[in-house]
Structure formats: structure tokens, C-alpha cells
Amino acid sequence: MYALRQWSVRHARGLNAFYKAFESALVMLHPLWKWLGYERLERPVAAVERTVKGLLFDCRMCGQCILSSTGMSCPMNCPKSLRNGPCGGVRANGHCEVRPEMRCVWLDAVAGSARIPGGPDALRQVQHAVDRRLQGRSSWLRVVRQRTGDAP
Ligand code: SF4
């Protein structure tokens, strides 16, 4: 929902702090996830993630979340799926050239990042191209597996 997405950018600092705590809790529970089986957990966790992040960020479940680097503005809402900043078509009023009713997600990313400690530096990091093989998978589980060295 667009209004909620905008709210999330305005509250990027609090949401980012909440996510960091949530991620740490998920990492701590790694032995449990491993015992239950990551592949078995994939569908139910992805379903929860899709619901929560869909509501707050209009998440498209790219499977490689970078919200913490983009001020809680999901770059996959860019009609061109740009992951490293805006195209040259941002309108004078800051809206998207493809979807004029929508503010450019990258202008939101700049605004949201400014609210997060270290956000502007994170925003400057170059992001990899989207790996479409991860579409629909849980970013939460992926991050835990990366942080615990359990990535497949
Ligand atoms: S970056 Fe990917 S996982 Fe994160 S909110 Fe956007 S579509 Fe969802």
C-alpha cells in the first residue's frame, strides 16, 4: 500500500533498529532453524515475510533485501528495477517518469537513509544485479545462513 510505504520511509530509523534486533534474534536461533531444516522452513517463512513486508514496503520478494541500504524504500518498486540509484527520467516534481503518480523510489531512499545512522554511506554501496533465481525466497533466512556461514 503506497501510503504505508511512505510511512515506512518516514520511520526508517525505528524500522531499521527493529529489523537489526529481529535479525540478531533470527541469527541466535540458527541452531533451531538448522534442526528444523531451512528448506522445510522456506515456504512458511517466505509467506510471513511476503505478508509483513508487502504491507510495509510493497515488497516484491526479490529474495535479496537491501532495505537497510535504501532507507526502507524498496528499489524493486522502481518500474525499471534499478538497484543503484535513479534513472535520468525523474520528473521535476520528483515523481517517476513511468508511473507519474508515484514519487521516485530513489528520492525516498535518500530521504529514508538520512534518518538511519550510517544510512548515507550504506546507500553509496554498489549493489549487485538482481539474481532472479532468488525471486520469491525468504531474505530473512538467506541473511541468517550468510551470517552463520551456512549458505548453500
Ligand atoms: S529489496 Fe527485495 S526483499 Fe527487500 S523489500 Fe524490496 S523486493 Fe522485498
Distance from the alpha carbon of residue 5 to the mean position of ligand 1, in angstroms: 12
The pLDDT value recorded for residue 1 is 83
Note whether 74 and 60 are within 8 A (CB).
Answer: yes
pLDDT tens readout for residues 6-26: 999 999 999 999 999 999 999
Half-sphere exposure of 100 (CA within 13 A, CB side): 2
Residue 95 φ/ψ, nearest 5 degrees:
-95, 165
Q: Is 50 helix (H, G, I), strand (E, B) or coil?
A: helix
Encode pLDDT of 69-107 as tens digits: 999 999 999 999 999 999 999 999 999 999 999 999 999
Say which residue the cell 546507500 belongs to.
123
In angstroms, what is the C-alpha Rg of the chain?
16
Helix %, strand %, coil % of the chain (to 5): 55, 0, 40
Which amino acid type is present at position 137? R
- Choose one of 8, 55, 61 to mutate for the ligand 1 pocket test, by most ligand atoms within 8 angstroms of C-beta: 61
Residue whose entry in the numeric block shows the C-alpha cell 538448522: 34
